[in-house]
């Protein structure tokens, strides 16, 4: 007779009750995950252990009437991983994305996270993951802001005013105690107005909407980038303040000086090496570069204008050397984050343990005993 297997189900309201929106705690947990990345105590998908995930990309056309075809932001992606340290858990973030969802009153992406026992593979928790993913997406650049930006920074420029940058701004603001003003830039003025109104009410800051990108950047001490791919976001390095900290969580096209003349800090070097490895193996390397945030950087490396990725600094390694923290007077810093499933595992595990401690969620049975003839 086999053993009964139960797991916890956490709806979105359950996750909220379990603290998934606790920004300060999420930033702390993500910093802890960066430490595990630096130690190498993690695994992600693929033979290189650093693949961002396995995606289903739909064809432009199909002879099968029910098969989905390509559309804006339309895909399914599985992002498996293992996270060590006190987490010591396996899991998978699974999401489907379709820009047309918004016409149905749904988020563009619908996400779930499954945590599993590392030994048996049994499910531990299935949870709603839209808020979880948003929280950790914002917390990653916030960890960078904590350690790379000026502690006295008073101004932030927000480039792209959608849900991702809202999460980023919320977390980054938690690390800037002197924040006074936020400048909002978006190709859609209504999006900028909506986020600016939220910032006034929630963060208590002066919120300025700016339609000219150069003007938006001129005096910003911290810049958070999470723009969509609808229109390329193109900036020139000399538009930035001399000691600006630029936190990149979405696509951006800078001039060569943006990448060549500034201090570049990556989220995790091995992740970017995996992106390049997968691009080289793809039918069109340049097209693969176009699909990832680090693409402009990889091209300059290929052209011999920058050193190999292995010679770059990443945030986890930097956190092991406290002397290297902080802003550098007169020098800009650019932090590049591409997203890693281990951050979802870390924040998901923290949410799960809190839910267990507070009796939140619904216990479900996979089986009372595995079926056997």
The domains of the chain are located at: 5-133+342-367, 139-340
Residue 290 to residues 15, 54, 171, Cα–Cα distance (Å): 35, 17, 28
301 phi, psi to nearest 5 deg: -65, -45
Domain 5-133+342-367: assigned CATH number = 3.30.1780.10
What the block records as the tokens of 125 is: 């928790």
pLDDT of residue 164: 92
Bridge partners (DSSP) of residue 127 are 10, 113
Residue 149 confidence (pLDDT) above 60: yes
pLDDT digits (tens, 9 = 90+) for 178-201: 999 999 999 999 999 999 999 999
228 close to 160: Cβ distance less than 8 angstroms: yes
Question: What is the DSSP secondary-structure string of 276-335?
Answer: HHHHHHSS-HHHHHHTSTTHHHHHHHHTTSS--GGGSEEHHHHHT-GGG-S--TT--EEE
Residue 322 confidence (pLDDT) above 80: no
Cα torsion 151, 144, 309, 164: sign: negative
pLDDT digits (tens, 9 = 90+) for 326-372: 656 668 999 999 989 999 999 999 999 999 999 999 999 999 999 98
- 139-340 under CATH 3.40.50.1450, yes or no: no
Question: What is the DSSP secondary-structure string of 76-100?
Answer: EEEEEEEE-TTT-EEEEEEEEE-GG
What the block records as the tokens of 219 is: 């005096």
Asked which of 8-22, 78-92, 93-107, 321-335 is least confident by mean pLDDT, the reply is 321-335
- The whole-number average pLDDT for the span 127-154 is 96
pLDDT of residue 171: 98
Average pLDDT value over all residues in the chain: 94
Quick check: helix, strand or coil at residue 270? Answer: helix
Residue 167 confidence (pLDDT) above 80: yes
Q: Is residue 365 within a helix (H) or strand (E), and if so which, with residue range?
A: strand 362-367
Q: Which candidate, 257, 256, 279, 260, places its Cα nearest to that of 338?
A: 279
Q: Please list, residue by residue across 47-58, b when 16 or more beta carbons sit within 10 angstroms of its beta carbon and e when fewer do.
A: eeebbbbeeeeb
What does the angle CA 361 – CA 341 – CA 307 come to, to the nearest 5 degrees? 160
What does the angle CA 358 – CA 16 – CA 249 come to, to the nearest 5 degrees? 130
Residue 2 confidence (pLDDT) above 80: no
Per CATH, 5-133+342-367 and 139-340 having the same topology is answered: no
20 close to 132: Cβ distance less than 8 angstroms: yes
């Amino acid at each position: 007779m086999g053993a009964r297997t139960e797991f916890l189900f956490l709806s979105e309201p359950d996750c909220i009750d379990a603290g998934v929106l606790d920004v300060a705690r999420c930033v702390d947990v993500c910093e802890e995950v960066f430490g595990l990345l630096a130690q190498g105590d993690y695994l992600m998908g693929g033979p290189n252990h650093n693949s961002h995930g396995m995606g289903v990309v739909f064809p432009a056309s199909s002879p099968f009437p029910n098969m989905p075809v390509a559309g804006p932001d339309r895909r399914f992606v599985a992002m498996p991983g293992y996270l060590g340290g006190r987490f010591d858990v396996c899991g998978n973030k699974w999401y489907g994305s379709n820009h047309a969802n918004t016409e149905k009153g749904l988020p563009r992406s619908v996400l779930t996270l499954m945590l599993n026992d590392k030994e048996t593979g049994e499910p531990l928790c299935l949870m709603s993951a839209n808020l979880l993913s948003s929280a950790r997406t914002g917390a990653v650049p916030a960890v960078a802001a904590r350690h790379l930006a000026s502690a006295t920074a008073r101004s932030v420029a927000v480039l792209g005013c959608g849900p991702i940058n809202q999460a980023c701004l919320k977390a980054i603001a938690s690390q800037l105690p002197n924040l006074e003003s936020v400048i909002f830039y978006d190709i859609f003025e209504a999006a900028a107005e909506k986020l600016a109104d939220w910032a006034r009410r929630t963060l208590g800051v002066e919120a300025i909407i700016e339609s000219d990108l150069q003007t938006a950047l001129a005096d910003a001490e911290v810049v958070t980038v999470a723009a969509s791919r609808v229109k390329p976001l193109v900036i020139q390095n000399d538009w930035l303040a001399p000691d600006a900290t630029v936190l990149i969580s979405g696509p951006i096209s800078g001039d060569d000086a943006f990448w060549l003349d500034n201090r570049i800090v990556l989220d995790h070097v091995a992740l970017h090496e995996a992106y390049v490895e997968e691009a080289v193996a793809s039918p069109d390397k340049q097209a693969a570069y176009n699909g990832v945030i680090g693409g402009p950087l990889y091209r300059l490396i290929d052209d011999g204008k920058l050193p190999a990725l292995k010679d770059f600094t990443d945030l986890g390694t930097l956190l092991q050397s406290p002397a290297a923290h902080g802003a550098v007077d007169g020098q800009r810093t650019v932090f590049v984050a591409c997203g890693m499933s281990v951050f979802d595992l870390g924040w998901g595990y923290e949410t799960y343990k809190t839910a267990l401690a507070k009796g939140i969620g619904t216990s479900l049975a996979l089986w009372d005993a595995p079926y056997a003839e």
